[in-house]
Amino acid sequence: MSLRALLPASCAVVEHAGGWPVAALHPDEARALGPVAEARRAEFAAGRACARAALAALGHAGAPVGRGDDRGPRWPAGVVGSITHCAGYVAAAVAPAAACRALGVDAEPNQPLPADVLTTVASATERRWLAATPPGAICWDRLLFSAKESVYKAWRPVVGTWLGFEDVELTVDPTAATFAAAIAAPGPFPHLAGRFAITPTIVITAIYVPAA
């Protein structure tokens, strides 16, 4: 299963597994990125290449994807989107704002989180759930991290405020491959729901909120 399978048909999704594709930046994107190490430039360019291809599928061919003041993607008017990349995977998803209010996607390596990171990411309730989850092919702590990243990516462009890991309490349904997020911070989304997919190497999560 891939990111494409996690989102409705109204979304344009472009994803690439394996080494990041070699891609050139649009001049506006290069200016937004500024001087960075070559590895960071390659990562950024691969994500923007996927984003521009997804935008083209929505009829926005050639549109650059800059960066906002929060360092998140700046999409063309009338478009909602999200970009993600990790070792071995890069993807972007976009949707018409008329159909989608919020969109967040995230990919992470299917590997355990470092213990010091887990204590920052997971609440006491979430850590108890993780402790009771039998070991297997899925690193549930990494899924928890990825799902909260997707929550933030969906939240921030709409609300415009910071959302910490501690502000989000997750409930995961392993059988349905879904998750629900209860959000303690004030805003329009007291709850968000998402879906996830697992490969042997990658954890992928996605949130799609339809427009009212």
pLDDT at 71: 84
Q: Where in the chain is the domain with CATH 3.90.470?
A: 3-100, 106-210
pLDDT of residue 56: 96
- pLDDT tens sequence across 56-76: 999 999 888 988 888 889 999
Residue 116 per-residue DSSP state: H
pTM: 0.94
pLDDT, tens digit, 9 for 90 and up, residues 73-128: 999 999 999 999 999 899 999 999 999 999 999 999 999 998 899 999 999 999 99
- What number does CATH give the domain 3-100? 3.90.470
Identify which of 103, 108, 91 has the alpha carbon closest to the alpha carbon of residue 8: 103
CA-to-CA separations, 71 to 27, 29, 82, in angstroms, rounded: 17, 12, 12
Bridge partners, residue 14, by sequence:
92
Q: Which residues, other chains included, contact 36 with Cβ-Cβ below 8 Å and sequence gap of 6+? A: 44
Amino acid letter at 92?
A
**Under CATH, which architecture does the 106-210 domain have?**
Alpha-Beta Complex (3.90)
Percent of the chain clearing pLDDT 90 (strictly above): 76
Work out the pLDDT band at 1, boundaries 50, 70, 90.
Answer: low
> How does 145-161 read in b/e, with b if 16+ C-beta sit within 10 Å?
bbbbbbbbbbbbbbbee
